[in-house]
Amino acid sequence: MSRWSILALLLGLLLVAAPFSKHQLAAASDEYDDDDEDAPSAPKDDDEKDVVVVTVKNWDDTVKKAKFALVEFYAPWCGHCKSLKPHYAKAATILKAAVPDAIIAKVDATVEESLGSKFSVQGYPTLKWFVDGELVSDYGGSRDTEGIVNWVKKKTGPPAVSVEDADKLKSLEADNEVLVLGYFSELKGADYETFKSFASKTEDVAFAETTSAEVAQAAGLEAAGTVAVIKNFPGEAREVAVSSDLSGLEAFVKGEKLPATIEFSQENSGKIFNSGIPKQLILWASPDELAADAEVMSAYRAASKKFKGQLVFVTVNNEGEGSEPVTNFFGLKGASSPVLLGFHMEKNRKYKLSEPLTAASVEAFAASVADGSAQPEYKSQPVPEDPVEEGVTVVVGKSVDSVVMDPTKDVLLEVYAPWCGHCKQLEPTYKKLAKRFKKVSSVVIAKMDGTENEHPSIEVKGFPTIIFFPAGEDKTPIALEGGDRSLKALTKFIKSKAKIPYELPKKSGGAEEAASEKDEL
């Protein structure tokens, strides 16, 4: 599960790169099977006419010779790659005309494995930025057409576009849902340098600058040394927010660059998760309840204005195709709507409003999520009557404290997803491991379904995640790093981390098994 794929679920997510929750939620929405890694590469269609197909053979003649290149490393079976495809193709067409020095390219990393390995590609899609044929950075923008275009323009051009007349401003507004315009008497001085520095570091919105009073007036600016955030969101009236506090420019733009509420979707995931605001409110509701004139939506929008810049207010149509990641991530199958949720990306904490949804309760709940006083909720399946399956102890959220946190046990925990191909490949090895330690009473080999169970002490950034919890009062988790999950590697990992001394029972079966045992130890 890639990072963009977590709330890329959620959404890494509906990822680019972020904490577990963002990735897990995204991963849950993947439309591919991890096992299908040998699927053939799909041919490029007409919509991708401006996307350059790169292989090992033509790398030097394309990326190496380009002044600028944005390269997507993808897999044909990857659900997130499929979702990105139309946005990437449209961005390529726009940028072909707007930035002729840049190429927008793609590499089928399942075929061109050496390229993926060379540039440390570990998930799909991975986008990387090259200048004069040399890798400079990973892509850091949102994964929609506008985000890709703005990011490449920012990387290849000036931090802010100069605007001399109102017609140019109107044209820029037509091309950008959000435009930040700075008005200065002259393009120098401390205020201007503050504006230019912030513009150069901010990649998810477009910036413009002007010394024209006509342009300033069209943007609602009266005095020089002021900044306007001009918003033209689909279905909403043009809105302008103005600030004269250049020292608070970052907070001002962060609070104004999103609409009052934003729909959860693959296209909007970058805006939600790369907004710079780690906390979100999520209204999971029916289409009628999300209607502009609905009482629930009115209360939600009213709260969004009071907590601008502190929370991202997300809506989820629970009858829509894109609702499944959120429904699964928060355990809402069969729930009655509306449901108001809170989510803290950086800490992977989830919250739920437990009382009826009213204007007062929405505002109070939003305040508690914003100030950190809300009590988090964690999913858990029922504790199984017989928790041992073929030697592996089955753990759920409610039994983590009694099993995994038991100070008298060294515990190896695998957090898996039922749909994860890599987890399925690991299963027989993990069962052998449990059998190997069956008579070692101080060691517990355990597993937990990470899609149905959570615990604040367990951080999961992908499936499977393998964590060792050493015996003792300080149960500080130790994650297994690297891709070697063989019986030998797992046995050595336990041996090196266990606090309670033990001896594995000797195998019987001749020289071959004796040699195998020696390797494991």
Residues annotated as catalytic (active site), given as ranges: 78, 81, 420, 423
Rounded CA separation 18/8 (Å): 9
Closest CA to 73 of 106, 41, 98: 106
- SS3 assignment, position 250: helix
Rounded CA separation 146/150 (Å): 6
Rounded CA separation 145/312 (Å): 21
Rounded CA separation 14/196 (Å): 32
**b/e map 70-79, b = 16+ CB within 10 Å:** bbbbbbbbbb
Rounded CA separation 491/503 (Å): 12
Rounded CA separation 270/276 (Å): 11
- Residue 144 tokens read as 């929609």
CB atoms near residue 128 (< 10 Å) = 20
Q: What kind and span of H or E run contains 232?
A: none
Q: What angle do CA 424, 427, 430 make, to 5 degrees?
A: 155
> How, if at all, do strands 102-108 and 51-53 pair?
parallel
Strand partners, 127: 72
CB atoms near residue 336 (< 10 Å) = 7
